[in-house]
C-alpha cells in the first residue's frame, strides 16, 4: 500500500527542512510507523520553498504554494495537489478537517483514491459561507480520524459530516519519551513527594489550573507529604495562580512553579512523578497526557472524550468532572491508596499497546485498507 500524507498548512517560522522535520515529530512519527508495518510512505508538505528530503525510507516533498490565507476559500493549492498525484497513491492522508476544501480539489484528480482526513483539534466554522463550502467538501471525503469518536459529535450535529460518515478512532499524535525508574529520575531533577503530582500545560481557562490547585489543596489533609510541580509555557493566568497561592500559605508550601522548560528536559520530570493532573474543559487529544503515559505516570484528569480514551474509560487513570475540585481531591486520594509499585510499567505497557506510534501505525493501516476496499469502483 502506498500512503501519501499531505499537509496544506504552512508554518512561516520554519525556514529549513531540518527545522520542519524536528518540530513536526508527529508527522514523522506517523510516517515511520507506517513504514514499520509495511507501507510505502511519501509526504507532501507546504513550505516556504521547494525541497526534497529522504529520511527512514520516506520521501518528504516540500512544495511552495502561496495563498492569501492558507485553508481559506481562495486557497487553491495546485502545486501541492500535483505533487500528491505524482506519487500515485493508494490512499491519501490529509492533516486537518479544516483543509477539506483543498482536498476536494485533489479528489477531482484522484477520483477513485480514498482521502482520509485526520482531525487535529479542528473546530467547525461558524460563518455560513465557510460552513456550506466545508460541508460540500467533507461529503466528498472517504474517511475521518478522531482521537475519540465522541469528538466527531459537533461535526455530526452541525451537519458538516453525514450521519453515516466512516469514523475511525485514531490518536493524532504520540510521545517519544521513554520510561525510567522514579529513583533515577528524581536523582536528576531533585523533585520529591509522596505522591509527586505534575502539571504540564498552559495556564489558561481551558486547562483550569485554579480548579486543580483547589482540588490538590483539598487532598492534602489525606496526603500530607504530597507535592505539586507545575510546568507551563503560556501563562495568562499566572497572576491568578500566584494570588491564589498567596491566599493559601499551607498549600503554597506544597506547590512548585517551574515555569517554562525546554521540551527535552520534561522527560526526566515526567519520570519523577506519580500522578499527572490536568483540568481541561476540552482537548483534541492530549499530548501532555500521552507524554505522561509514556513515562508511566498515572493520569488524574477531567472526564472529557479524549481523556476517556487515554485512560481506558478510567481503568488506567482517574477521571473527574470538569470544574469539580472536590471530585479531583477524592479521585487523587483514591488512586493513591491503591497505587502499586509496578504502576509505571503497567502505564507504559498500556501506552505501548494503544497510543505509541507503532500502535497508531497498525490502526491507521487497517483504516486505510478498509477505505481502499470500499472506495474502488
Instruction: Report whether pLDDT(376) > 60.
Output: no
pLDDT for 236 equals 94
- Domain count along the chain: 2
Instruction: Report whether pLDDT(377) > 50.
Output: no
| Strand ranges for 78-155 from DSSP E | 91-95, 115-118, 143-146
CATH number at residue 192: 3.40.50.2000
Query: b/e for 170-191, b at 16 or more Cβ within 10 A?
Result: bbbbbbebebbebeebbeebeb
Same domain, residue pair 247 and 335: yes
> What mean pLDDT, rounded, does the chain reach?
95
**Cβ 81 vs Cβ 105: under 8 Å:** yes
The band of 129, judged by pLDDT with boundaries at 50, 70 and 90, is confident
Q: What is the pLDDT of residues 60-74, one digit of tens each?
A: 999 998 876 777 777
Same domain, residue pair 301 and 215: yes
Q: What is the pLDDT of residues 166-178, one digit of tens each?
A: 999 999 999 999 9
Same domain, residue pair 366 and 344: no
Same domain, residue pair 219 and 284: yes
pLDDT for 122 equals 85
pLDDT for 375 equals 56
Same domain, residue pair 333 and 363: no
pTM of this prediction? 0.94
Same domain, residue pair 105 and 142: yes
Same domain, residue pair 28 and 51: yes
Instruction: Report whether pLDDT(196) > 80.
Output: yes
pLDDT for 68 equals 65
Same domain, residue pair 38 and 167: yes
Same domain, residue pair 157 and 287: no
Give the structural domain span for 337.
182-354
CB atoms near residue 156 (< 10 Å) = 15
- 65-79, 103-117, 246-260, 346-360: least confidently modelled range: 65-79
Q: What is the pLDDT of residues 255-308, one digit of tens each?
A: 999 999 999 999 999 999 999 999 999 999 999 999 999 999 999 999 999 999
Same domain, residue pair 168 and 194: no
Place of cell 517519544: 176
Same domain, residue pair 133 and 53: yes
- Range 157-172 average pLDDT: 94
pLDDT for 335 equals 98
pLDDT for 75 equals 80
- Range 13-41 average pLDDT: 95
Same domain, residue pair 194 and 96: no
Amino acid at each position: 500500500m502506498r500512503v501519501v500524507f499531505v499537509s496544506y498548512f504552512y508554518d512561516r517560522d520554519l525556514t529549513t527542512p531540518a527545522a520542519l522535520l524536528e518540530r513536526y515529530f508527529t508527522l514523522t512519527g506517523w510516517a515511520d510507523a507506517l513504514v514499520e508495518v509495511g507501507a510505502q510512505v511519501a509526504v507532501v508538505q507546504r513550505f516556504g520553498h521547494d525541497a526534497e528530503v529522504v529520511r527512514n525510507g520516506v520521501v518528504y516533498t516540500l512544495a511552495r504554494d502561496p495563498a492569501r490565507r492558507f485553508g481559506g476559500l481562495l486557497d487553491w493549492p495546485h502545486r501541492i495537489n500535483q505533487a500528491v498525484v505524482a506519487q500515485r497513491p493508494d490512499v491519501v492522508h490529509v492533516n486537518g478537517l479544516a483543509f477539506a476544501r483543498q482536498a476536494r480539489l485533489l479528489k477531482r484528480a484522484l477520483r477513485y483514491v480514498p482521502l482520509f482526513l485526520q482531525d487535529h483539534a479542528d473546530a467547525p466554522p461558524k460563518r455560513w459561507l465557510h460552513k456550506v463550502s466545508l460541508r460540500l467538501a467533507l461529503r466528498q471525503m472517504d474517511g475521518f480520524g478522531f482521537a475519540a469518536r465522541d469528538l466527531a459529535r459537533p461535526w455530526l450535529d452541525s451537519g458538516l459530516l453525514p450521519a453515516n460518515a466512516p469514523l475511525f478512532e485514531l490518536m493524532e499524535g504520540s510521545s517519544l519519551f521513554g520510561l525510567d525508574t522514579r529513583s533515577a529520575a528524581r536523582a536528576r531533577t531533585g523533585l520529591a513527594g509522596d505522591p509527586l503530582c505534575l502539571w504540564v500545560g498552559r495556564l489558561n481557562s481551558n486547562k483550569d489550573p485554579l480548579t486543580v490547585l483547589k482540588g490538590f489543596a483539598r487532598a492534602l489533609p489525606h496526603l500530607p507529604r504530597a507535592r505539586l510541580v507545575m510546568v507551563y509555557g503560556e501563562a495568562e493566568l499566572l497572576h491568578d495562580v500566584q494570588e491564589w497561592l498567596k491566599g493559601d500559605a499551607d498549600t503554597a508550601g506544597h506547590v512548585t512553579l517551574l515555569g517554562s522548560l525546554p521540551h527535552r528536559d520534561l522527560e526526566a520530570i515526567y519520570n519523577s512523578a506519580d500522578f499527572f493532573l490536568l483540568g481541561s474543559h476540552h482537548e483534541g487529544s492530549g499530548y501532555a497526557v500521552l507524554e505522561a503515559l509514556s513515562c508511566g505516570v498515572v493520569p488524574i484528569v477531567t472526564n472529557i472524550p479524549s481523556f476517556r480514551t487515554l485512560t481506558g474509560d478510567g481503568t488506567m487513570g482517574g477521571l473527574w468532572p470538569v470544574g469539580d475540585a472536590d471530585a479531583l481531591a477524592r479521585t487523587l486520594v483514591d488512586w493513591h491508596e491503591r497505587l502499586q509499585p509496578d504502576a509505571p510499567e503497567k502505564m507504559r505497557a498500556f501506552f505501548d499497546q494503544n497510543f505509541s506510534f507503532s500502535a497508531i501505525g497498525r490502526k491507521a493501516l487497517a483504516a486505510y485498507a478498509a477505505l481502499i476496499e470500499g472506495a474502488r469502483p
